[in-house]
A and B are shown apart, each in its own frame.
Chain A
Amino acid sequence: MKFPDVILQTAAKILVFIIMIYSIYILFAGHNNPGGGFIGGLITASAIMLLYLAFDVETVGEIIPLDFKIIGAVGVMLALLTGFGAVLFGVPFLTQVYQYVNLPLLGKTGLGTAFVFDLGVYLAVVGTTVTIIRSISEDL
């Protein structure tokens, strides 16, 4: 925006990290605790939005040099492909499977294709939301 807000900028620098970490936690937690790809995606998007509010469009563009359109597209593709992946195994479209495996450090962990799907949703939400915000704010 137009004028630098020192308090907001200083706070944002710290808050963005906290929000980001929280959003990733939410994304992973979705399986067994409140959360999931949609909420996680929105929280990440709100963290980026906070950056946009605190700094200007160019600065944020330098901080996160990513094309969010592509991130959104990757997310949608991921969600679609997990669906088609099920077809390859001869089960109906979008059938999700899960399995408990013992991972190093983490111990017994439930892994499921649902998470890949959720990750797709997460990326789609982040990509879309930031694309919208960015296109409108670049127009200001």
Chain B
Amino acid sequence: MSLLHFAVLLPFLYTIFVPLFFKKLPRIHTGWFVIVIPLLLFVYFLTNFPVQTDSPPIVHSVPWIASAGIHFSLHLDGLALLFALIITGIGTLVVLYSIYYMSMKREALHNFYVYLLLFMGAMLGIVLSDNLMVMYVFWEATSVSSFLLIAYWYQRKKSRYGAQKAMLITVFGGFAMLLGALMIGTAAGTFSIREIIGMRETLADHALFLPAMLLILLGAFTKSAQFPFHIWLPDAMEAPTPISAFLHSATMVKAGVYLVARFTPVFGGDMNWFWIIAIVGTLTLFWGAFMAIRQTDLKALLAYSTISQLGLIMSLLGIGSLALNPDFAAEADWFEAAILAAIFHLFNHSIFKGCLFMVVGILDHETGTRDIRKLGGLMSLMPVSFTLTVIGGLSMAGLPPFSGFLSKEMFFAGVLAANTHTEQWTLWLPIAAWVASIFTFAYCLILVFKTFTGTYHPDRLDKKPHEAPIGMLIPPIVLALIVVSAFFFPNLLSYNLFEPAIHSVLPGLRLPGETFYVKIKAWHGLNTELYMTIGIVVVGTLLYRTYKKWGDVYNLLPHKYTLGSLYDNGLAGAEKLSARITSTYMNGFLHSYLSYIFVFIILLVGGSFVLLDAFGYDLSTNAEIGLYEYILAGAIAVLAGFVISVTSRLTAIIAVGAVGYLVSLLFVIFRAPDLALTQLVVETITTALFLLAFYFLPKLKTEVTRIRVKISNLLISVGIGALFTLIGIAAQGSNQFKPVSEYFQNAYELSGAKNMVNAILVDFRAFDTMLESVVLFTAGIGVYTLIKLRKSRKGGQQ
């Protein structure tokens, strides 16, 4: 365990105490206790700053499931540090903001902060894990905790809907990613990302290379809300605004971007990687910007703008990956600049989008609505919020003097470079980027001017608007200051933060000692990029002014053909289908269920025995069967026959118990005292339980069944009996696998136990035993709740 491990686990451990703070100290907002954690982690990560590109990154490893190659290993390189700083930095501001946003009296704050901490820990886990399997665990943990966060106001139907949608889509992608990770892990023979990157030359020819790439991309695209999986993001806006600010600016959706950046060294040289990411990214960029304009809810507008901006970052990562392609070695600098643009924009987007979400939260909080049609003329009432929106919005639009301008210009440089330096038809890239940026500019204008200028309609608002409390304004002000200062001093960050990050995305591109000197300039002459920006401003303003005239474009596509309704209908259809399938076989008769189980066993086990040609018997090595054994076996057989012929349940139960006791006698003969003891006690307990349970059953009576059912029953029971007899006999002679017994022969030396059975249970196979006790206990609690819940409901009716 290292400090880095502790940093990742700290948010998880701290969740134990959050409910205590909430219960025991109800007068102090729980957020004040929680804010310590992100702040502490932020400072901790700052102490690792800056990462030296030359020295090997910090790696710590703790063996976890070593036999499967799964180690809890963490690494801190430039990329991980950038993300860790964003997660904890914005996390701190979000918690501060939430202290003023979330009412202490009305809200279940302990749930809120527990989910938030779980989410933060999981995000840190993703960006710091070196082991793919560990990363996957954290990946799914973000899906689950974001589900909880989105459904925080679970009383609302829309919250539950949004949470389920986000969960289904991201878990689907996560599952694809798991498959991809397994494939790449199999191909490389290791789950360590560092080692996989190390052998990227040999991996490219592996048969699993392409499928693994596609599956990992699927995971990244679903998480980062790329077209056509973007539909979950607008619905996820039902979460409280601090959560939206955190999930959708800095963390959740950036996980997909992180995944793509992290795997760029592995897949980057491949043209498929470039094409898929560039096309999907650009399409998302365009579609998100286009759809954002029609939104009337400010949060929905920001949601679509997030989708669009993520598409922008994705497409830049796609273009930048060409730097690793040997065909473009001469132009690598251009593509490396695209990676820089991606990382810079990722940083910018986290900052200004966090700021904008917080301002929208303030608007919602102070006016009671987020509807653009109701808002207007708030400039004089909320001057600080207005300034913050202008800074955030114009940074997003890509105007100077805000950091968004720099990364937008670099984005244009990237798409233009992709067009000039690849000898393929990529003219669509700059054009699509330009058109999308026009829409981006237009919706930024809507965001700023529709809300704050125009006529003020106090009658449309639920509350009398006024400026927010200072605590709520501090976090967005901090972010806005970063936006402005990043414009004037971009190189402060670029050497220390972006350069090491680029180095992790494109390792081995440079010789040791040689670095890609990152210099971000605000003014680089009258070039195509600048003309593109001027064009955007002109056309974008025009679009904004004439929105009423062309707004009908959105009604061209009927609602039932949208992706959202496709999802809804698909989900409803799947539910209907599964209900129909389930009702065909879940008919409530125990008899049917037993038949399914037995038939399945006969087919599966019997079938595999036939296929493997494993049936056979070799009795030559057997000892002679003694008289005592004959008698016991005969008695068991007679009793078993007796069970089916009796007419009273009680007799049947006792006869079954007797069979069990006789079996334990057999164990005694074969000198297995542990087994005999266990069998004896289990038999006692189950007999008593049967007696208890059967008390509720009606009297046994001869059922009138059709002859066909009787015959099939007979076939199944004879079949299963015969199968197990055959397996028992076959187990004697055949050896399909290497026996494991030699492993246990050294039991005493290995575990200090003279009782080998117990040593196996508590030491060699302790993992099985542990999970079995968990299952046992869960089953017990299940029985308890089934009975007790039913009783309390009965009591409620009386």
Contacts and interface: CB of A to CB of B under 8 A. Distances in A.
Interface of A: 26, 29-39, 42-43, 45-46, 49, 53, 69, 72-73, 75-76, 79-80, 83, 87-88, 90-94, 96, 98, 100, 110, 112, 114-115, 117-118, 120-121, 124-125, 127-129, 131-133, 135-140
Enumerate the 8 nearest inter-chain pairs by beta-carbon distance, A residue then B residue, closest first: A128-B780, A32-B754, A34-B673, A98-B752, A42-B681, A124-B773, A114-B762, A36-B758
Interface in B667-682: 673-674, 677-678, 681-682
B751 A98 contact: yes
A92 B754 CA distance: 23
A132 B689 CA distance: 9
B547 interface: no
Given A39-B681, A117-B762, A128 B770 contact: no
B590 interface: no
B753 interface: yes
Contacts of B787: 135-136, 138-139
Interface in B740-798: 751-755, 757-759, 761-763, 766-767, 769-770, 773-774, 776-777, 779-781, 783-784, 787-788, 791
B3 interface: no
Given A72-B780, A90-B62, A121 B773 contact: yes
A129 B692 contact: no
Interface of B: 1, 62-66, 673-674, 677-678, 681-682, 684-685, 688-689, 692-693, 695-696, 751-755, 757-759, 761-763, 766-767, 769-770, 773-774, 776-777, 779-781, 783-784, 787-788, 791
Given A128-B780, A133-B689, 7 more contacts: A30-B758, A49-B688, A53-B688, A73-B777, A92-B63, A128-B777, A139-B787
B777 A132 contact: no
Contacts of A46: 681, 684-685, 688
A125 B681 CA distance: 12
Contacts of B66: 92
A38 B758 CA distance: 10
B755 A133 contact: no
Nearest to A78: B773
A129 B766 CA distance: 21
B191 to A, nearest CB: 16
A93 B65 contact: yes
B747 to A, nearest CB: 11
Residue from A31, A53, A69, A91 with most neighbouring chain B CB atoms (10 Å): A31
A42 B685 CA distance: 8
B674 A34 contact: yes
Contacts of A26: 677
B788 A31 contact: no
29 contacts: A31-B752, A32-B754, A34-B757, A35-B677, A36-B757, A36-B758, A39-B674, A42-B682, A42-B685, A46-B681, A46-B684, A46-B685, A76-B774, A79-B769, A80-B774, A83-B770, A87-B1, A92-B65, A92-B66, A93-B64, A93-B767, A114-B762, A121-B762, A124-B773, A128-B777, A131-B781, A132-B689, A132-B784, A133-B692
B774 A34 contact: no
B762 to A, nearest CB: 4
A92 B231 CA distance: 42
A36 B769 CA distance: 12
Contact of A69 (B766, B769, B784): B784
B780 A129 contact: yes
Contacts of B62: 87, 90
A98 B750 CA distance: 10
Contacts of B753: 31-32, 98, 112, 114
Contacts, number: 165
A42 to B, nearest CB: 4
B758 to A, nearest CB: 4
A98 B677 CA distance: 26
Query: Chain A binding site: helix, strand, loop or mixed by DSSP?
Result: helix
B767 A94 contact: yes
Contacts of A30: 755, 758, 762
B773 A75 contact: yes
B729 to A, nearest CB: 28
A112 B769 CA distance: 17
A128 B758 contact: no
A93 B684 CA distance: 35
B776 A110 contact: no
Contact of A36 (B64, B752, B761, B776): B761
Nearest to A137: B692
A132 B783 contact: yes
A112 B761 contact: no
A35 B753 CA distance: 12
Contact of A80 (B684, B688, B770): B770
A112 to B, nearest CB: 6
A5 B769 CA distance: 39
A96 B754 contact: no
A83 B791 CA distance: 37
A126 to B, nearest CB: 10
Nearest to A49: B688
Given A114-B763, A131-B780, A140 B695 contact: yes
Contact of B762 (A36, A72, A76, A124): A36
A25 B415 CA distance: 77
A29 B689 CA distance: 27
A128 B755 contact: no
A118 B766 CA distance: 9
B293 to A, nearest CB: 53
Contacts of B780: 69, 72, 127-129, 131-132
A39 B777 contact: no
Contacts of A75: 773, 777
Nearest to B692: A136
Contacts of A93: 64-65, 767
Nearest to A100: B752
Nearest to B752: A98
A113 B761 CA distance: 13
